[in-house]
Amino acid sequence: MAIKKDKFDGGQLKKLAANNIDISRLSQEDLEKIREFEDRVEAMVKTTGGDYSLTLQPGIGWAMNVESRVMTYPLRDLLYKGIDTTLGYALHEGGHRDITRVVDKFWRAKETLRVLYNVVEDPRVNTYEESKWPGSAFFISKTYEIEWPKIDPSKPIVHYDDYTTQPHLQFLNSIIYCYRHGSIDPRIKNPVVVDVFNKTIKHIKEAYAKHPPKFKPSEDQKREAQRQMSEILKSKVLPEYERLIRESAKVIEVGFLNGKVDLSFRPGAGRAEIGALSHDELTQKARDYIDTESKKLADKFEAKIKRRDIEQLKKEIAREKKSRELNKTVTERADNKIRSLKDLAENKIMNDRLREAQMTDWDRCISPISSLVTILIGLLENELTRDERPKYEGFYRTGKKINLRKYLQFQAAGHDPAYEDFWMRKTLPRKPSINFSLALDESGSMTEGDRDVNSLKSLALFIETLNHFNLDYNIIGFADAPSVHKEFDEDITPADKDAFIVKVSNFMGSGATDDATAVELAIDTIIKESNATHKVVIVLSDGEGNTGKSQNSGIDRNGRYYNLELRKILEKADVHGIDVVGVGIGEGIKYVSDIYGKSIVEKKIDLLPQAFADLLIEKILETKEIHSNVNEEKVGCF
């Protein structure tokens, strides 16, 4: 039955309007496709994944906002490729969002490396989704039907031409063909490609079978699975794959010379220019051509998702390229004599730009707040060392200074040994008996605005300060599940700082928010591993828990936030005398102030490091302040 436009779901009409889609231009059949697709995807997600909050809407491309639980899909795919195929794309892109992670920038160094990695990642994502969602293989297979159909060997086969499809691309196509149909692509006739395929296919299958657990894998488990896949490709596949890159280079060089390879990839390149090149120059031009062709396939298989780790990697590669270019320019200018103030100014500008480009990620976090860190450490040192000027205490049988009154008592008692404790010793500096556990929100919403940037600045301030005073601490990140970034018995040395901040930065934007599980882990860990007199858990978050143990949360009829599981955990902290402080940033600050008995809220994101510094001063210097971790004033009726 056709859907009448005036009866079409009002919410869906609003979504279409929000995406600048003119409903008057859509046929009844188009509208029916939209409704059926959204109904089927929602039913699929609810029945297989238990996620009853997901909503869909048309958008520019495939994307998933894990905090708002909104998935967008390109309307063109639905209208022109059909519902089943679009469902396959939804499953596939959801799989990328679920488990694809950046763990090694090695694969981004060249397009020929990126394309290999992306082509193997594609079946890894699909096989993971197929193992989780019974029946999903049918829909995923629809996305391959046009470009990788099964070839009938009983009919004439059009074999690959090495000039138009280079040997390494034939190999990559065959990986997908084998995943789909279980055998080598019959269009391959190049014996080198066949040999490399036969030697590596078992290792490729091993690589794309590296999956995290199916049920609620942690971010660490997802990254570990990705790391294992990367290592298999590096050690077992890459050496043979490089044979094919060399084979492709030879083919393209010959193709340039005999005119069988199109030279239009580089404007202005012609046969005469090619003939004038040296062998090395010709080889380099062939490699450039191979990179150009590899990029096309690499982009095709690239995950259509936005993740901080992917964006960070792209920025890092761009910075490295800029640094190399600036360094080359500065080196060249160093040989030139300075003839004017203009030359001097230009040299200074170039050197300043080079220093900025060569800054590490840790430098970028700590530099804007370096003066704040200096002031914070200075204040704490003044307070902690106020009583540490040379003074003596007693009384002992040996020491450096005699207490005259005690000595006279000893003399009056006739040198009675009971009175010979008249020596005094100099007091030694004492550090406060306090340990910290920091639980850092790394959910999807933390990448909005500058929340992540200022949270990382606060993290750098936290590390610098506690390291300076040799205070023990651990660091736990949380999104869908918690990840322990630093244990109590681990050290973050100066050499480790940059790698550490990069690791934590890459976890930002990982998923939804399960603050309850993270706080429970922080409390359990500090109970078990800390012997300090004062134990403090700091929870830095930008919003309401919405997954895992935090699903049992919401707003009561008085407009106050509650989280029943988190309340029980905070009550446990009360029993063990653990001080829990909630630090709220962004729109979620009311949730933090409603939930935690002790809380700090900072509406201005750029002031978060200052607020964090104030909190550290308060906690390190205070005598043990007793307060309830549960905000009793905020507990209302549900």
Residues 6+ apart with CB under 8 A from 357: 319, 322, 323, 326
Structure tokens at 137: 């293989």
Residue by residue, DSSP assigns 321-378 as HHHHHHHHHHHHHHTSPP-SHHHHHHHHHHHHHHHHHT--HHHHHHGGGHHHHHHHHH
pLDDT digits (tens, 9 = 90+) for 551-577: 778 888 888 888 889 999 999 999 999
Cα-based distances in Å from 492 to 167, 370, 460, 463, 536: 46, 18, 11, 8, 20
Contact indicator for 606, 368 with CB cutoff of 8 Å: no
Residue 594 — φ and ψ, nearest 5°? -75, -30
Against a cut of 0.85, is the pTM above it?
Answer: no
Relative orientation angle of helices 83-99 and 111-132, to the nearest 10 degrees: 110
* pLDDT band of 257, cuts 50, 70, 90: confident
Cα-based distances in Å from 491 to 207, 362, 439, 467: 33, 16, 18, 9
pLDDT digits (tens, 9 = 90+) for 102-157: 888 899 889 999 999 999 999 999 999 999 888 889 999 999 988 889 998 888 99
pLDDT digits (tens, 9 = 90+) for 327-361: 777 777 777 777 777 777 877 777 777 777 778 88
- How many secondary structure helices (H) and strands (E) does the chain include? 23, 14
pLDDT digits (tens, 9 = 90+) for 618-638: 898 875 566 788 876 644 444
The enclosing H or E element of 58 equals: strand 55-59
Is the four-CA dihedral 527, 529, 531, 533 of positive or negative sign? negative
Tokens 């930008």 — which residue? 542
Longest dimension (CA), the chain: 120
Relative orientation angle of helices 238-258 and 167-181, to the nearest 10 degrees: 130
Q: Rounded to an integer, what distance in angstroms lies between the CA atom of residue 638 and that of residue 636?
A: 6
Give pLDDT, residue 24. 65
Q: Is the model's pLDDT at 203 over the cut of 90?
A: yes
Lowest mean pLDDT among 63-67, 78-82, 284-288, 563-567: 63-67
Give pLDDT, residue 472. 94
Q: Rounded to an integer, what distance in angstroms lies between the CA atom of residue 600 and that of residue 540?
A: 9
Query: What's the chain's average pLDDT?
Result: 83
The enclosing H or E element of 46 equals: helix 28-49
Of 459, 438, 456, nearest to 447 by C-alpha is 456
Share of the chain above pLDDT 90, in %: 38
Lowest mean pLDDT among 223-237, 569-583, 595-609: 595-609
Structure tokens at 271: 């046969």
